[in-house]
Amino acid sequence: MTLQDFFAAHPRCALGFSGGTDSAYLLAAGRELGAEVRPYYVRTAFQPAFELRDAERMCEQLDIELTVLDYDILAVPGVADNPRDRCYFCKHAIFTLIRDRAAADGFDTLIDGNNASDDADDRPGMRAVSELGVLSPLRMCGITKAEVRARSTGLGLFTALKPAYACLATRIPTGRRITKPELERVERCEDRLKQLGFSDLRVRIDGASARLELPEAQLTRAVEMRREILAALGGDFEHVALDLRGR
């Protein structure tokens, strides 16, 4: 199957839209192939502000209206307690919300941006969307992440080389209760590191400490900027450690 085949069979789709590389390409490709694809972005405490900005920017570039739905994800049973299968409860709740709103808008086909490189065996969230009948055109058509990036470049999408991004909840150890202040603290610290010139990074909570994960090429610079990093993060964490393995 090709994407052209998919959208010929499903000319009107609601898309769970994150503003990331995969869903951005799927939105653009659907438009190129003549389908009506409406993007739905669910704004929760798990998404940093830049993700919504990217989603809005992409929809503006494609001249497509973005529907933004606000949701208290921490109120969903099984989410704030942060079990190993937290993603299952989160994705099930989010796509149920999108499905219901999309149905009210006249869309009965719901799709997401999972691609053929995603490992379904290790993704509780993918199990949730499968149970809800969400279709994954990129996976169905055998389109890998590398192909998505190449095709996005061909379409001139600014998301073509955007680093993969996991939600803020992944910064908190499994079993530790997730709170909004902790999520805000992580986002604030990651933003400050980006202002210092670092990229594709993670600030993970490790007890009372922050553990920084940076690409290997940025580790030397992080050591050289030790004082600046401590000044940026010291107000939020008692200790700051650098993971020398690199991302």
Same-domain check for residues 144 and 201 = no
The pLDDT of residue 247 is: 86
The Cα 232–Cα 245 span in angstroms is: 22
Residue 46 within any structural domain of the chain:
yes
- Average pLDDT, integer, range 71-95: 95
Same-domain check for residues 64 and 99 = yes
The Cα 84–Cα 169 span in angstroms is: 12
12-16, strands of its sheet edge to edge: 67-70, 36-43, 12-16, 110-111
Q: What is the pTM of this model?
A: 0.93
At 219, which CATH number?
A: 3.30.70
Strands (E), the chain: 12-16, 36-43, 67-70, 110-111, 202-206, 209-213, 239-242
Same-domain check for residues 39 and 120 = yes
Per-residue CA distances from 53 to 18, 20, 32, 42, 66 (Å): 10, 11, 23, 13, 11
Residue 164 within any structural domain of the chain:
no
Report residue 31's pLDDT band, with 50, 70 and 90 as the boundaries: very high
* Residue 103 scores a pLDDT above 60: yes
Say how many residues make up the chain: 247
The Cα 167–Cα 172 span in angstroms is: 10
107-148 pLDDT tens trace: 999 999 999 988 765 578 888 988 999 999 999 999 999 999
Instruction: Decide: residue 72, CB within 10 A, 0-12 exposed, 13-18 middle, 19+ buried.
Output: exposed
Total structural domains within the chain: 2
At 26, which CATH number?
A: 3.40.50.620
Q: How far, rounded to the nearest angstrom, does the alpha carbon of residue 72 sit from its chain's CA centroid?
A: 17
Give residue 14's domain range.
3-155
Same-domain check for residues 111 and 24 = yes
The letter for the amino acid at 247 is R
Same-domain check for residues 148 and 183 = no
